[in-house]
Structure 1
Amino acid sequence: APFFFEKPKAMSVEEGQDAEFICKIMASPTPEITWTQGNRVLKSGGRLKITTETSGQLYTTCLVIKKIAPKDSGNLLLVASNECGEARAMLSLEVEKVEAKPEEKPEPAAFVKVPKNCETLEGETAMFDCKVLGEPRPSLKWFKDDQELEEERYIVDYNSSGVCEFSIRDTVPTDAGWYTCTVSNPHGGQSMRAKLILHLKPKTEPAAFIKVPKNCNTLEGETAEFDCKVVGEPRPSLIWSKDDQELEGERYVVDYNGSGVCVLYINDTVPSDAGWYTCTVSNPHGE
């Protein structure tokens, strides 16, 4: 008599999906295989497809019900019979109803939090943030000087709740200025501007001479002058000395102006003023 090598399994299928039942039967001689539901014998056609494949005494039968509907719920009976007897298998089919999604109401893209001005230091990361709403979800773009920003330094993090963070890494002086965020969907759009204020790092330059002092000849009692010009950032400090002693006293006048020009005046010169004078300039970056 026929017997089940592999019985079909009960199924729970979401409405609109396909259901497939597979069963393997051992039998000899060839069995007659029927699928029924209630009082109805199922036949291939329309949404139903029944196939049977044979390999020796093994028969594989398959029932496919396409686009399952609630009316397909219920018990299915599979019967395999021949002159030696029969085998029966009962299984259930449950259809899960899909709840209709609420209809989405169209809503134009708009800002619920606008980007604000950002202030940061050159070389640091600048960030603007905003929040938008709209249905369908708005597209979002950032611009500067009417050019869309697409370099790797520009990072846009726009999450599903409508919050957007726009970051500019490794800021440079040319990043300063106005930025525009534009949001849009098929029902409308908006643009908002915010300004990046960038504080530039002070330039650094070691102290150095660009004009060195030259030897000076003068008469006793006259005024001797040495002049030079220096550069550096921050502005270098400047010291005049003779014989390793810093010059102090009313006869020594140092005129050191904002453009880096320095003049040392030695008034009412005396014989002991003769000799070598040293001008030393320095700042935190060099001497």
Structure 2
Amino acid sequence: MFFHHYFRQDGIAPNFTQKPVIQQVDGGKKLLVECQLTADPEPSITWFRDGTQITAGGKIQMRAELKSPKNYLIVLEITDVSPQDAGSYKVTAKNALGESNATIGLNFDAGDANKPKGSKPLFTQKPVIRQVEDKIIFECILTADPVPTITWMQGNKVITGGPKYKMTDVADKTSHTITLEISNVGASDGGEYKAIAKNSLGESTATITLNLEGKKPK
């Protein structure tokens, strides 16, 4: 029994020898998630998407192909691909000697599965200037994901909060309506203003000129 048990352990725990790759076939209607591993004895393969185990059937097919002794090609096949198939995919290979995992992200942003999700800030409309009594209000609309940080500037000076300035950011999903309200407007408040929106994917700037000639903004 001792020697029988000893020789049973002579083999290879699963080891992924290549990172998972994604291939598009049939004009992009089908995706193949492929990875290579070595293992002996033959491993059991389990796939997960966003932490939930995937079962074969319907649009999902799985296979493990023995390419050479102890070397396997592991394939997850997805037909009729849609944005709902995006997510984090993990494959687990397990045999009597151990187990190993490999992961890959799938999204549909410019066809790059490893590109960060989201969008850099983008101003979608021209800034609006409104005058309410002795106040001037600048309003800009932009989209951004993740949530951007907003910086307002007059010329080269960063505007900070206080009794004269009030800044707001009203968000609806990835759309943001940002405002700068200036109280007690005087001649020194004229000039060029900038709204700078920045997140981890980039930044964008909207420029507004406040002309106080004739006491009406233009």
Same fold (TM over 0.5): no
TM-score, length basis structure 1 = 0.36
Higher helix share: 2
TM-score, length basis structure 2 = 0.45
Higher relative contact order by CA 8 Å / sep ≥ 6: 1 or 2? 2
